[in-house]
Homo-oligomer: A and B are copies of this chain.
Amino acid sequence: MASTALHERIRTDIESRILSGVLKPGDKIPSELELMGLYGCSRMTVNKALSALNSAGLLERRKRAGSCVARPRTVAMMLDVPDLPAEVAKRGQAYRFDLLKREISDTRHHRSIAEKIGCEGRVLVTHGVHRADAVPIAYEERLVSLSAVPDIETQDFADEPPGSWLLRHIPWTEAENRIGAAGAGSEAARALNVNVGAPCLSVERRTWQAAQCITFVRQLYVAGSYELIARFGPAQKGPVQNGPV
């Protein structure tokens, strides 16, 4: 394997012809039999290459009809989800989380909470600020379902913020981020030391474990102080860092 594997070579051959535009969406790819002759190898080897391209979304394959270049439906990019304590520490700054509020509520009495977290029962509500070297980075409001995570009721979040605690203790199977902009509310503005209505990046994340909602969190980042980065490329280079501008 001094030279790369054959199935790998076939894959990148076709991939580069697609990405460079030589092959356009809808164009037919030679059949496995033909490629097998072209490269002088067995069908399984060709199949491995084409299957990889298929599951990568570059090819569409139909029995009897053959393979053709897929037309990109929605261009999807990888978004690195921020883990604040880790990212702040990585930049050599001191991370701190200040808890502003901590209370237990119930979705049966507060419909607005029920709507946000999308489940019934008792809920832990926390508000707090993430800081790097004491400078506020983000304001967050979080709801945690106590029926899904009973252990969190005894935590005081002096050592680590609720998000990191959850990440370490509760495995999740599904998550959804909604990314938008918003003006800072009065509590957020005070916490972030900006004017009310100042533009902020808003990240709302819901996390589920097997159809049960675990937590809902809304984070506000002051505009210009934080960016999310999503990239797309054939070969994923080192992960790009989110971070301050």
Contact = CB atoms under 8 A, between A and B. Distances in A.
Given A78-B77, A81-B77, A181 B178 contact: no
A41 interface: no
9 contacts: A16-B173, A74-B80, A75-B81, A78-B78, A81-B230, A175-B232, A180-B221, A180-B224, A230-B230
A92 interface: no
B176 A199 contact: no
A221 B181 contact: yes
A183 interface: yes
A16 B119 CA distance: 23
Contact of A180 (B182, B198, B201, B209): B201
Nearest to A169: B21
Interface in A198-224: 198-202, 209-210, 221, 223-224
Contact of A227 (B55, B81, B178, B229): B178
